[in-house]
Amino acid sequence: MALIGIDLGTTNSAVAVWTDAGPRLLANAIGENLTPSVVGLDDDNAILIGQAARNRLVTHPERTVASFKRWMGTTRETRLGRGHVFRPEELSAFVLKSLKEDAESNLGGEVREAVISVPAYFNDVQRKATLDAAGLAGLKVERLVNEPTAAALAYGLQTRKEGLFLVFDLGGGTFDVSLLDSFEGVMEVRSTAGDTFLGGDDFTRVLADALAEQHRLVLDDLPRADVARVLRACEAIKHALSTAQQTEYEILIGGKAITGRLDRARFEQASQLLLGRIRAPLERAIHDSKRRLTDIDAVVLVGGATRMPMIRSLVARLFTRLPLGQVDPDTVVALGAAVQAGLKARDAALEDVVMTDVCPFTLGTGVTQNARTRDETVVVLPIIERNSPVPISRAQTLTTINDNQRSVRVTVYQGESLRPEGNILLGELDVAVPPAPAGKESIEVRFTYDINGALETEVTVKSTGERERRIFRNASNLPQSEIEQRFAALAEIKIAPREQAANRALLARAEALYEELLAEDREHLSRLIASFEHDIGKGHEIERVRSEFAAALDKLERLTFRLI
């Protein structure tokens, strides 16, 4: 049975498989390699996934949701329509399920296992949420692979280049940097760093703020549909500014057309704060790798947002004279996940490739600062330092601080701060110790961090040999019983049939457009919709009917917001 590789992105997702000829992307029901990570509820209360949902973001904002990857690992719930409330894991599960079906339809058989990529900087809680999402979609995760690692795998395999390369991955919602060493078929991740709240969507937002300022508008005061339209226009302006120096636009706001012009310089000026946030993870990754900037042989740009010229020139400025790797920034992660799947399946063609990764953050335990002075201040004692190669197992011995102390509370923190409150508490466990004078009893706290980024904690009481082992599931992760319950509930929810995806996507786009047009344009469109529905009902020459309808929509769309 095939093992697939999935890039579960903030903006778009993609699925690929390892073949004799290398990794191959698998197209979705509408023939595209990228599936928007958007979920919606249609008028019959069926779930829409991908392009059809994306097309309804403006017209049905209360029934559609995007960018939910940002909430993975939180308990935030999204209400779609009246009755349906979903957690981020469930929304991600819909996307995974749809990719699973696309893979099955391409490969002609059932698919149950996947390698899924996650941002390197995803913490334990976010990784477990991703595993839960896969479980809800009926997929067993063979491996979680860090996105930059996947990108480097695909890049390394494609170019067969050796040396130290830096993967610079700016996606829709996250920024990751990794340094990888590739020599004689061994690919070794040296370090990784990132910012889980920085991505292309933030650049769209600053552009929207700049546009609003030009027209003395406050975005937050506008109706949701207007805000969505401004954001959609700014997304298009942002893309246009990746190739043109400036662009003029016309957008309908509150029923009135507003026009203006934005250029690269204004966009770049508005983006200064965001650009400033790019430096820190770069510096940290280079520092932690114990290599110097001059040791780097190539920079691989990954993620759609690296298409922005200001990002390319920032990279060029920081890494003068370094060549930029030529890969498709949108699909390289999915391809790399498929390579990882090939590695996992021990494909003969990959026999000589070995891959090692690192743990992206420090893992430690809370200890009392100074037992002798009875200073009760708790600090975090690192046990596994960030950027240590994984799998890794490390231990520290702790002693009791009070006479006749009956138990020790072992806390597990993730993060770089000395103070507990500056880190994420992954879990805690109490272990019983025999009563004895302070400092006499001791415990060994061992952390084992596996290749998927899952942490196991083992505590051994030295004097009795008693052992306690635990894999923590954070309070925001779903307990197994709830996963099973939710899995059953999701199976009950109607999902719009896959074979109708293309028609639904077009109809959603047409209806969105209908709300924006006026007078005769509107009437014209309503006739086009009726005739399209009639033609698809008849069921022949569907391809031709679809492409003619799409061309007509292209023409009409230019009337609502356009780049002039």
d(CA 201, CA 186): 35
Given the complex with ligand AMP, which of 35 and 460 has the nearer CB atom? 35
Q: What type of residue is 506?
A: L
Q: 525 and 556 in contact (C-beta within 8 Å)?
A: yes
For the bound state, the minimum distance from the C-beta of residue 234 to ligand AMP, rounded and expressed in Å, comes to 9
Cross-strand partners of 363: 384, 414
Does residue 330 have an active-site annotation?
no
Stretch that binds ligand AMP, among 83-91, 197-205, 214-222, 551-559 (CB under 6 A): 197-205
Per CB under 6 A, contacts with ligand AMP among 222-281 are 235, 238-239, 242
Q: How many residues bind ligand AMP (CB under 6 A)?
A: 19
Given the complex with ligand AMP, which of 235 and 248 has the nearer CB atom? 235
Sole binder of ligand AMP in the list 40, 281, 304, 364 (CB under 6 A)? 304
x-marked contacts with ligand AMP along 326-365 as a string, rule CB under 6 A: ----x-----------------------------------
Question: Assign residue 346 a region: left if phi > 0, alpha if psi is -120 to 50, beta otherwise?
Answer: left
> Measuring CA to CA, how many Å separate 5 from each of 26, 117, 323, 348, 425?
10, 8, 28, 18, 31
Cross-strand partners of 339: none
Q: 55 and 40 in contact (C-beta within 8 Å)?
A: no
Given the complex with ligand AMP, which of 11 and 411 has the nearer CB atom? 11
Q: 259 and 274 in contact (C-beta within 8 Å)?
A: no
Does residue 44 have an active-site annotation?
no
Given the complex with ligand AMP, which of 172 and 420 has the nearer CB atom? 172
Does residue 295 have an active-site annotation?
no
> Measuring CA to CA, how many Å separate 226 from each of 80, 467, 516?
19, 60, 10
Sole binder of ligand AMP in the list 177, 305, 341, 528 (CB under 6 A)? 305
For the bound state, the minimum distance from the C-beta of residue 14 to ligand AMP, rounded and expressed in Å, comes to 9
Residue of 147, 176, 202, 441 with catalytic role:
147
Q: 338 and 4 in contact (C-beta within 8 Å)?
A: yes
Does residue 344 have an active-site annotation?
no
d(CA 106, CA 410): 49
d(CA 452, CA 466): 28
Closest-CA residue to 230 (of 199, 247, 259, 253):
253
Sole binder of ligand AMP in the list 2, 11, 49, 229 (CB under 6 A)? 11
Sole binder of ligand AMP in the list 3, 10, 198, 299 (CB under 6 A)? 10
Stretch that binds ligand AMP, among 5-13, 188-196, 421-429, 551-559 (CB under 6 A): 5-13
Per CB under 6 A, contacts with ligand AMP among 50-89 are none
- Burial class from Cβ neighbours inside 10 Å (0-12, 13-18, 19+) for residue 69 reads buried
Given the complex with ligand AMP, which of 12 and 411 has the nearer CB atom? 12
For the bound state, the minimum distance from the C-beta of residue 271 to ligand AMP, rounded and expressed in Å, comes to 11
Cross-strand partners of 49: 39
For the bound state, the minimum distance from the C-beta of residue 301 to ligand AMP, rounded and expressed in Å, comes to 11
Sole binder of ligand AMP in the list 6, 12, 180, 367 (CB under 6 A)? 12
Per CB under 6 A, contacts with ligand AMP among 486-545 are none
Find the helix packing angle between 332-344 and 147-159, rounded to 10°.
80
Stretch that binds ligand AMP, among 106-114, 196-204, 217-225, 441-449 (CB under 6 A): 196-204
For 172-220, give the DSSP string.
SS-EEEEEEEEETTEEEEEEEEEETT-SHHHHHHHHHHHHHHHTT--GG
User: Where along the sequence are the contacts to ligand AMP (CB under 6 A)?
Assistant: 9-12, 171-172, 199-201, 235, 238-239, 242, 303-305, 307-308, 330
Active site members: 7, 69, 147, 169
